[in-house]
Structures are given as structure tokens and as C-alpha cells.
Amino acid sequence: MQTILITGAASGIGAATARLFHARGWAVGLLDRDGEALQCLADELVGAWFAAVDVCDEPAVQQALADFCGAHGGHLHVLFNGAGILRCGPFEQISLADQLLTVQINISGLLTVTHCAFAYLQATPQAQVINMGSASALYGVPQMATYSASKCAVRGFTEALELEWAVHGIRVGSLMPPFVNTPMVTGQGSRPPVMRRLGVHLDAEDIALAAWQQAQAPKVHRPISLQFGLLYWADQFSPSLLSRWVMRWLSRP
């Protein structure tokens, strides 16, 4: 049986991904800080394994991986790094504590889990890491500065590790959606101009489907939605000045 371990699994994209892979016969492992929500999801997904873990807590992550992968012959077919947080607003109005927490979870947490998972991925033929990226990694988004910076880091990490871990037979890629209708987005007190102008047209289930497609046919980056896909590919063949102009126009008051 193929296995997937999902961080940030208690709600939103992580939960939708867990439901989809479970429905398609995979052994699903769930990690999140919210133990109560995890328990509810695990009750829904019969046989799903779960542990309430902070992705930045290395010993706890190590133990969780040992427990889940140990139950499956030491193998891990897919690591889905879905844990992340978002704080919107002018940079100077968001507390430094929230800025640093964004970096800690979105970057340090992802690095911690990926580093701890290496031995299990290496032991598994055709293993993959799927990182939760973002359209905001294409060009920094005003009023999402620290979040954008964290996703730019995820993009660079993904590209580097895809090349580095090829020798081990491990594929590494990222999903790059624009705004998704999840509690992380809908819970924002105010929406940046970019979000208001582009709208929120994707649901968590759309990203779960993209994760499934990524697991079947890996890409380094998988832009999601026609709208962002066109912008992504235009950026590949145009000067960054164009992306800056588009972002400035979308972010106008």
C-alpha cells in the first residue's frame, strides 16, 4: 500500500488531500498541532494514522515519522508539506511575533519535516516530496510580505532539492495556487488589494486534486488555475519588470 504523510492535515488543503488519497486507497498519516481536529478527521477516515505534532519540534517529528513509517516497512511514498500560516496587512502593522511565527512554520517547519523524512523517502522507490507553495512566490505580494518571502524560500528550496535528491531517486516539487477558499484565507480580518481584485476561486479540493496529479506525474512546480498558469508561464519568458508592473497594478489602493 502506498503511503502519504500530510502536515497541516487538520483542516483546509491538508484535510482535503487526506480525504482524497484515503478514498483512493492510500495509507494516510496526519500531522497537525490541533489534536482535537485531527481526531475528528481520523474518525472520518477509517484506519488513518495521526499525531498532534508541532512541525518545528524535531524530536516529536522524528518520533511521528518512526511510528508512521515503521508501520509500513520503513517506507514513505509521499511527504506532503502542507503546514503553513498567513498574516495579511501592512508589514509594520503586523506584530514581529506573528512575522517570525510565519517564518518559523512556513520555512523552519518544512525544513524540519523534510530533513527528518529523508531516510524513509530514500528507502522508498519513486518517493516524492510535495511542498505547498504559492502564487505569491512568483513576485512578492504587498500586504503579504513575510508570507511571500516564506513561499519564495519554499520555491528555492524545492528547486535546489529536486536537483540534489535526484541521485537518491526522490522527486521534489511544489504546488503553486493563487488564493484558496480555506480558513487560512477566509479568517483574515482584511484582504489585500491583490486578493480582492483576483478573487478567491479555488477550493481546498482543487488543491487536493493537484496534489494527486503531482503524485502521479511530478513536476518541479505545478501552477494551479488557468488564471495563474498564464501569468506563471508569461513570467518564464518575460523580464521580471513585467511581473513587478502587474503586481503594482493589482496592488493599487
Report the distance separating Cα 175 and Cα 173, nearest Å: 7
Residue 91 pLDDT? 96
User: Is 232 noted as a catalytic residue in this protein?
Assistant: no
Bigger pLDDT: 232 vs 14:
14
Mean pLDDT in residue range 58-70? 98
pLDDT band at residue 241 under the 50/70/90 scheme: low
Reduced to 3 states, what is the DSSP secondary structure of residue 42?
helix
Residue 239 pLDDT? 58
- Helix 35-44 vs helix 12-23: crossing angle, to nearest 10: 20
For the chain, give the longest Cα–Cα distance: 55
DSSP states of 102-143 as a string? Answer: HHIIIIIIHHHHHHHHHHHHHTSTT-EEEEE--GGGTSPPTT
Mean pLDDT of all residues belonging to the chain: 92
Give the count of alpha carbons within 13 A of 42, CB side only: 17
- Helix 58-70 vs helix 110-122: crossing angle, to nearest 10: 30
The pLDDT > 90 percentage for the chain reads 77
Per the structure, how many domains does the chain have?
A: 1
What CATH number does the domain containing 168 carry? 3.40.50.720
Domain holding 65, by residue range, is 3-250
Burial 140-163 (b: 16+ CB within 10 A, else e): bbbbbbbbbbbbbbbbebbeebbe
Q: Is the pLDDT of residue 225 over 80?
A: no
**In which element (H, E) is residue 43 found?**
helix 35-44
| Dihedral pair phi/psi, residue 221, rounded to 5° | -130, 135
pLDDT in tens, 98-155: 999 999 999 999 999 999 999 999 999 999 999 999 999 988 899 999 999 999 999 9
Q: Which three cell numbers stand for residue 180?
A: 484558496
- Find the catalytic residue in 120, 139, 147, 232: 147
Residue 27 pLDDT? 98
Report the distance separating Cα 241 and Cα 44, nearest Å: 48
pLDDT in tens, 226-240: 666 566 666 666 656
8 Å CB contact between 158 and 174: yes
Report the distance separating Cα 237 and Cα 13, nearest Å: 30
